[in-house]
Amino acid sequence: MNSFLDLIVGFLKKYFVDPVVYRTGAYNPVNTTVYALIAFFALYKTYFYLRGKVKFGVSFAADLLPFIVLGSSLRVIDDAGLVRTWLFVTPSIYLIIYGFWITSFHFAAFKLRNLKLHMLIGWSAALPALIILFFNPVANQILLLYVSVYLATFTFSAFLVEKGFKKNFFNGLGWLAVGAQGLDGLVTFLGVSLFGYTEEHVLPRFMFGFMPEWLFFVIKLVASFLVVYLLCKVEDQGGFWVSAVYVLGLATGLRDTFRMLLGV
């Protein structure tokens, strides 16, 4: 009996505890699979909680933004060694930010009927974290150029696609989701190929073993476009899941951007 318990404890310690507490490699196939299942379950329950009460569009994305910025900033505060705690790494940071967002959203949007108050709550928490973070000098200014060129090019390309095809592929939230995923792919590509970073996530790390880093960026951008396009065809749930694509892309994209800007 004791040997079985020791086996279970050792398994949990190896794949879940040590990667978070002792930073022995953040992601592995086991914890990635479990985290993905938990995230899907949480999103599924959240959808039914918000269904019929919230319009999933650009305004919803704007409401989510400060909470995404907060989570990404706290991650990099930990990366930079300003505060070292397991609370600021995956999965803890996602649970904390989600709990903060859903609780404040419930009271501000549902109880007080004031969505702007909810955004104010988010920015009131995010701005101090940003100030603490960027009180340190920006060490990688060339990254700002790459990101600025990408954002300008993506925005212009989205405009041309909509006007050229004379067809609305998806709404503004859809373009934000694709752009966020593209940003994540871009900074991952730049970090690994130009700035000496290593990839932590299981799937990109596997892909980099047999393809150039720039191709990952292209694949991620095209795949996110196709996924968002298909999700927008699902009338009932599509907008919510597009919001999830936006959050997941922007959260990791901003974290990597902030981290590389500070050179940590």
Is the pLDDT at 1 greater than 60? The verdict is no
Return the pLDDT at 226: 93
pLDDT tens per residue, range 152-191: 999 999 888 877 765 666 778 999 999 999 999 999 999 9
Return the pLDDT at 42: 94
pLDDT tens per residue, range 41-100: 999 999 999 988 888 889 999 999 999 999 999 999 999 989 999 899 989 999 999 999
Return the pLDDT at 62: 94
pTM for this model (two decimals): 0.93
* Interacting residues of 124 by C-beta distance below 8 A, sequence separation 6+: none
* Greatest CA separation for the chain: 68
More confident residue, 245 or 51: 245
179 touches 173 (CB < 8 A): no
Return the pLDDT at 254: 97
d(CA 52, CA 49): 9
Return the pLDDT at 141: 87
Tokens read off for 88: 């600021």
pLDDT tens per residue, range 86-137: 899 989 999 999 999 999 999 988 887 888 899 999 999 999 999 999 888 8
Average pLDDT of span 195-224 = 91
CA dihedral 174, 175, 178, 180 (to 10 degrees): -110
d(CA 99, CA 250): 18
Rg for the chain, CA atoms, rounded: 19
Is the pLDDT at 24 greater than 90? The verdict is no
What's the Cα-to-Cα distance from 249 to each of 82, 118, 147, 166, 192, rounded to whole Å? Answer: 25, 22, 15, 27, 17
Is the pLDDT at 199 greater than 80? The verdict is yes
Return the pLDDT at 177: 95
